[in-house]
Amino acid sequence: MNQTSWTRCHILSLADFVPAEYDTLLQTAASFREVLSRRTKKVPALQGQVIANLFFEPSTRTRSSFELAAKRLSADTLNLSAGTSSLSKGETILDTAKTYLAMGADIMVIRHQQAGVPQTVATEMDRLASGVSILNAGDGQHEHPSQALLDLFTLYSFLEPNSPSGFLQGTKIAIVGDILHSRVARSNIYSLTSMGAEVHLAAPSTLLPKLLAHITDGTRVGKLFLHWDIESALQDADLVMTLRLQSERMSQHLLPSLREYHQYYGITRDRLKLCQPGVKLLHPGPVNRGVEISSEVMDDPQFSLISQQVTSGVAVRMALLYLIGSSKV
Amino acid sequence: MNQTSWTRCHILSLADFVPAEYDTLLQTAASFREVLSRRTKKVPALQGQVIANLFFEPSTRTRSSFELAAKRLSADTLNLSAGTSSLSKGETILDTAKTYLAMGADIMVIRHQQAGVPQTVATEMDRLASGVSILNAGDGQHEHPSQALLDLFTLYSFLEPNSPSGFLQGTKIAIVGDILHSRVARSNIYSLTSMGAEVHLAAPSTLLPKLLAHITDGTRVGKLFLHWDIESALQDADLVMTLRLQSERMSQHLLPSLREYHQYYGITRDRLKLCQPGVKLLHPGPVNRGVEISSEVMDDPQFSLISQQVTSGVAVRMALLYLIGSSKV
Amino acid sequence: MNQTSWTRCHILSLADFVPAEYDTLLQTAASFREVLSRRTKKVPALQGQVIANLFFEPSTRTRSSFELAAKRLSADTLNLSAGTSSLSKGETILDTAKTYLAMGADIMVIRHQQAGVPQTVATEMDRLASGVSILNAGDGQHEHPSQALLDLFTLYSFLEPNSPSGFLQGTKIAIVGDILHSRVARSNIYSLTSMGAEVHLAAPSTLLPKLLAHITDGTRVGKLFLHWDIESALQDADLVMTLRLQSERMSQHLLPSLREYHQYYGITRDRLKLCQPGVKLLHPGPVNRGVEISSEVMDDPQFSLISQQVTSGVAVRMALLYLIGSSKV
């Protein structure tokens, strides 16, 4: 499959992504990463097309990344931000989406605090035979596909395998943090296991998914392993992904304190010694220094792939917008 | 009159719009609607010009529509939003406008909660011989010319008359809702009656204008009819325009409740049976479903022209910006 | 020195600006002022480059001016505004800046309520050998270089000297207002005295810098004179710069009331009679009419250079972005 054979219209979830799609996405992103290293970081691919960024949940980083990706493809962008939106005037989300459709939006990038909203809008757009594509930029505790794809592309760029197919075979990846509430973890579990990785989830038991009636530390479900002991998750790991801790988890009594979280689950230089030599660290950002990761580790260039993730984000979002946009012609 | 003979510099009110101006506007908008159906929905007409969107009153829909219109004419846009503006620092509106003039704005699109602000700024711009055009995007309870023009263009596109002149002759149009406080109604009354329509205003008597000492249900003023009985307004109507109900009308004791409003003035499938077969429904948006219009009617494609209004909005605003911009050369 | 010999990568402070740099800046701004008088006010100089406007302290005027300057150089812009930023999520400023670096920003324009932030970010960008330039758009009570440079360019454009070198020699300039807390005054003192002007600072003694153990009215420090009597500062002045009065100075008990401030330090027609005939007035805006300047003087075109300052702002910021951008190739 090459990019001319891309047929997916919406990017809502990675649950049903197939290997050929991952391959195309990674190769397309690699070609855009090339564009980004030029002095004029722009291509005319989507000139005259309109991309509406509908961020019902506030965001700086993801919105900027999508906006920049759109501009670098020469598309025009429209931004709707929570708070200033018509939603506060009682309009339903579907009516808002239909307004942007009627204005001529070609692609809508949607973030919403409620799981399923991008899917609902996509279904309506299809029902109307609108031709509009929906890109899920994070929906509640459901999925955040572009984040998982940029994480995957970061690993692909770092490891430089001969071919993308199953390039994480034999790799142990630890995901540490609030797995239960994390749309980032959920999307990553799909993509990482699809590429062959063994994924070890580590969290306080209140923040682990209740997948099974009886889970014990180290319980295995296919290529997934669940741990409430971070040490066993990190043991011999090739890669460590940390998740952002939302401060509201404290008020929900799921965690005693940030300090205690850091003591038991924070990534420190000592804990990284449990991993493979050359272990690399990822975080979707923004990082709470001294909570998920110690400041010392954050500033050590030998461990962190965090800024590579941000760079990958622009390339991957260009690739997604481009593949979706091209599939329409 | 063709577009090269357009001479109006500001769009502040439709009170003195002449038929030739309506004709030019409708024909220009029709040519831009064409552009919008292309894959590359962009023309270089206003390249290098600066359009400042000064929205002292918050707005998503109208601001997005103007912004998209400007971008599709290849103009650069500057956005000032209420709340983040220098106004909170004690600057007067005229001083703010003069700042944007000095920065090089060619056209200013102004929305303000106070009637008359766009006129005041336009007078000052003329006094300074600045050459800057002002476009009223809604001022208090005064006027909202671009909304009325997009409504008109929606009807023009739907009815496809041979010529724009007086194309609503013999048409009965009901406008239902808070007429008294509506800048949309006011602008529409000018444009619809100019094109020959008979306009029937229906509202609770507390929300009808106090035009005359003694009005009774069905009172006629020229081509305008006032009703507090919605049934007589809808009887044999060809078109129904509904107005958005502002929730603050309740706290002003002008209305008992939204539910009661819907019971007496809401547009339902049953009420539409009073109208001509083929009746069409308009609403400036955002719609309070179940208040101005029942959800069932909203979702029935046989009645609603609402999404056509949104599409018309971009074409009409492109036409306005283009005619104003071209008249300067 | 011509523009190809420009070597400064960051614009953080005017403390160490050398005469050749002022000359280049003024001449480059003059050529861009030319561009702004054309119908198509745009050049392709920075096409494909990304300018991130990071305004941690809210601003309309300065942000719009930088944004417009960037667009007129055909650069792409990304905006981060206080309140919506990741900062509220606990991220440090350096981590935020590194995120924009990783996204591919070429220049970051930074405003922050804390003095020194742009310098700190610039140091980090250099340490990372990032090639990214930092432009200080106002940091706490430290400096606001682009404001002082636009003030200088306004005087240069007004006076039309044969050469920029020392073109303010023999000129008396009064700066009136809250000198102590003003980053605008501080940057202007560097630029104006570098160009040869005698600068007279006038303020209530609570708002004058505590430069010396014993200052009396009229104390001289090099080319600087300190006054708490506005009349002696205005006496025979060629130019008067007023500073914006922040309303929080009242709650800090540094000033009795706005009315009293105006009575003793406000610029009125009568006070201007003390100056040279042909005296001109500047203000960085937004102006509190009736506080720093009487409304009558504000509206008298014979005195004010305020709108020229705004126009100069776009030309000077284009020049800064251009010189910095070109120095990278």
* Fold observed for domain C145-309: Rossmann fold (3.40.50)
CA–CA separation, A112 and A91 (whole Å): 15
Parallel, antiparallel, or unpaired for β A224-227 and A239-242? unpaired
Question: Looking at residue C251, what is its pLDDT?
Answer: 72
Asked whether the beta carbons of residue A40 and residue C50 sit closer than 8 angstroms, the reply is: no
Fold category of B3-144+311-326 in CATH: Rossmann fold (3.40.50)
DSSP H helices in chain A: 19-36, 61-72, 93-103, 117-127, 145-159, 183-194, 230-234, 248-251, 258-265, 269-272, 295-298, 306-326
Q: What's at C286, amino acid-wise?
A: P
Residues 6+ apart with CB under 8 A from A237: A172, A173, A174, A200, A274, A275, A276, A279
Q: Write down the domain spans for chain B.
A: 3-144+311-326, 146-309
A vs B: CB pairs below 8 A = 72
Distance of CA A143 to the CA centre of its chain: 8
Of B102 and C249, more confident: B102
Query: For residue range A78-131, what is the model confidence (pLDDT) as tens digits?
Result: 988 765 554 556 788 999 999 999 999 999 999 999 999 999 999 999 999 999
Where do we find the tokens 């910021």? Answer: C317
Pairwise CB contact (< 8 Å): A86 & B60: yes
Neighbour tally for C32: CB within 10 Å: 23
Q: What is the mean pLDDT of residues A313-320?
A: 98
Which residues lie closer than 8 Å to B276 by C-beta, 6 or more apart? B172, B236, B237, B238
The pLDDT value recorded for residue B1 is: 42
Residue of C nearest to B97 (CA): C307
Across the interface, whether the CB atoms of A104 and B311 are under 8 A apart is answered yes
Please judge whether A285 and C86 are an interchain contact, meaning their C-beta atoms are less than 8 angstroms apart. Answer: yes
The predicted pLDDT at position C1 comes to 42
Where does chain C show beta strands of DSSP type E?
50-55, 76-81, 107-112, 133-139, 172-176, 198-202, 219-221, 224-227, 239-242, 280-282
Nearest to A42 among C48, C90, C92 (CB): C48
Sole residue written with tokens 């030309």:
C315
Residues C227-253, mean pLDDT to the nearest whole number: 89
Count A/C contacts: CB-CB distance under 8 Å.
71
pTM, rounded to two decimals? 0.92
Q: Which residues pair with C78 in a beta bridge?
A: C52
Whether B41 sits inside 8 A of A47 (CB atoms) is: no
Q: Chain B contacts of A80, Cβ < 8 Å?
A: 60, 64
pLDDT at C180 over 50: yes
Beta strands in chain B (DSSP E): 50-55, 76-81, 107-112, 133-139, 172-176, 198-202, 219-221, 224-227, 239-242, 280-282
| CA dist C250 → C142, C201, C246, C253, C265 (Å) | 21, 20, 8, 5, 15
| Chain C residues in contact with A61 (beta carbon < 8 A) | 86, 99
Please list every residue in chain A whose beta carbon sits closer than 8 Å to the beta carbon of residue C67. Answer: none
> What is the pLDDT, as a whole number, of residue A329?
54
| pLDDT, tens only, A162-216 | 999 999 999 999 999 999 999 999 999 999 999 999 999 999 988 888 765 556 6
Contact B78 C61 (CB under 8 A): no
Q: Is residue A32 over pLDDT 70?
A: yes
Q: What is the DSSP letter of C293?
A: B
Q: What value does the mean pLDDT take over residues C127-149?
A: 97
pLDDT attached to residue B212: 52
CATH class of the structural domain C3-143+313-326? alpha beta
Q: Say yes or no for a CB contact (<8 Å) between B314 and A103.
A: yes
Q: What is the mean pLDDT of residues C43-52?
A: 94
**Beta-strand runs (E) in C86-184:** 107-112, 133-139, 172-176
Q: Tokens 């990568």 — which residue?
A: C9
Nearest-by-Cβ selection for C103 from A38, A287, A311: A311
- pLDDT at position B172 is 98
Q: Among B84, B85, B106, B327, which would you mutate to test the C interface (most chain C Cβ atoms within 10 Å of its Cβ)?
A: B84
Chain B residue nearest residue C55, CA to CA: B84
**Band (A268; pLDDT cuts 50, 70, 90):** very high
Mark yes or no for CB contact A86/B58 under 8 Å: no
Grade residue A68 by pLDDT with cuts at 50, 70 and 90: very high
- Shortest distance between the Cα of A310 and any Cα of chain C, in A, equals 6
Q: Which residue has the higher pLDDT, B255 or A314?
A: A314
Q: Which range in A214-223, B254-263, C187-196 is most confidently predicted, on average pLDDT?
A: C187-196
Find the residue in B nearest to A48 (Cα).
B40
CA A27/CA A319 separation, integer angstroms: 9
Q: Is the Cβ pair C311, B50 closer than 8 Å?
A: no
pLDDT value at residue A142: 96
Closest CA relative to residue A188, chosen from A222, A229, A143:
A143
Interchain proximity A92–B65, CB inside 8 Å? no
Q: What's the confidence (pLDDT) of residue B257?
A: 86
Mean pLDDT of chain C: 91
Which CATH number describes the domain made up of A3-143+310-326? 3.40.50.1370
CB contact under 8 A, C76 and A68: yes
Q: Per-residue pLDDT for chain B (329 aa), expressed as one digit of tens each?
A: 455 689 999 999 999 999 999 999 999 999 999 988 887 788 999 999 999 999 998 888 899 999 999 999 999 999 887 655 545 567 889 999 999 999 999 999 999 999 999 999 999 999 999 999 999 999 999 999 999 999 999 999 999 999 999 999 999 999 999 999 999 999 999 999 999 999 999 999 888 887 655 566 777 778 899 998 999 999 999 999 999 988 777 677 778 888 999 999 999 999 999 999 999 999 999 999 999 999 999 989 899 999 999 999 999 999 999 999 987 75
Which chain B residues are Cβ-neighbours of A100 within 8 angstroms? Answer: 64
Q: Which chain A residue has the Cα nearest residue C97?
A: A307
Per the CB < 8 Å rule, is B288 touching A90? yes
Query: A touches which chains (3+ CB pairs under 8 A)?
Result: B, C
Q: What is the CA radius of gyration of chain C?
A: 20
Which carries the bigger pLDDT value, residue B219 or residue C117?
C117
CATH number corresponding to B146-309: 3.40.50.1370
- Cβ-defined contact of C95 to A65 (cutoff 8 Å): no
Could you tell me which chain C residue has the CA closest to the CA of B54? C60
Chain B contacts to C (CB-CB under 8 A): 47-50, 76, 78, 80, 84-86, 89-92, 95-96, 98-104, 329
Measure A45 CA to nearest chain C CA, in Å. 14
Type of residue numbered A94: L
Minimal C-alpha gap between C50 and chain A (Å): 9
Residue B163 and residue B145 in contact, taking contact as beta carbons nearer than 8 Å: no
Which positions in chain B touch C58 (Cβ < 8 Å)? Answer: 84
Return the pLDDT at C4.
Answer: 60
Lowest-confidence region among A51-55, C83-87, C95-99: C83-87
C74: closest chain A residue by CA? A40
CB contact under 8 A, B64 and A76: no
Q: Pick from C51, C60, C297 the residue to mutate for testing the B interface (most B CBs within 10 Å).
A: C60
Least CB-CB distance to A86: which of B42, B61, B311?
B61
Which tokens is B222 given?
């020229």
Q: Which of A47, A67, A76, A88 to mutate to probe the B interface, most B CBs <10 Å?
A: A76
C-alpha separations of C309 from A258, B99, B126, C31, C297 in Å: 50, 9, 21, 16, 16
* Selected residue with higher pLDDT from B177 and A326: B177
Rounded to the nearest angstrom, the minimum Cα separation between B320 and chain A is 16
Residues C314, B104: C-beta atoms closer than 8 Å: yes
pLDDT of residue C214: 58
pLDDT category at C211 given cuts 50, 70, 90 is low
Cβ of C285 within 8 Å of Cβ of B85? The answer is: no
* Residue C101 to chain A, least CA–CA distance (Å): 8
Judge contact between C249 and C178, C-beta under 8 A.
yes
SS3 call for A108:
strand
Residue-level pLDDT at A89:
64
Could you tell me which chain A residue has the CA closest to the CA of B308? Answer: A102
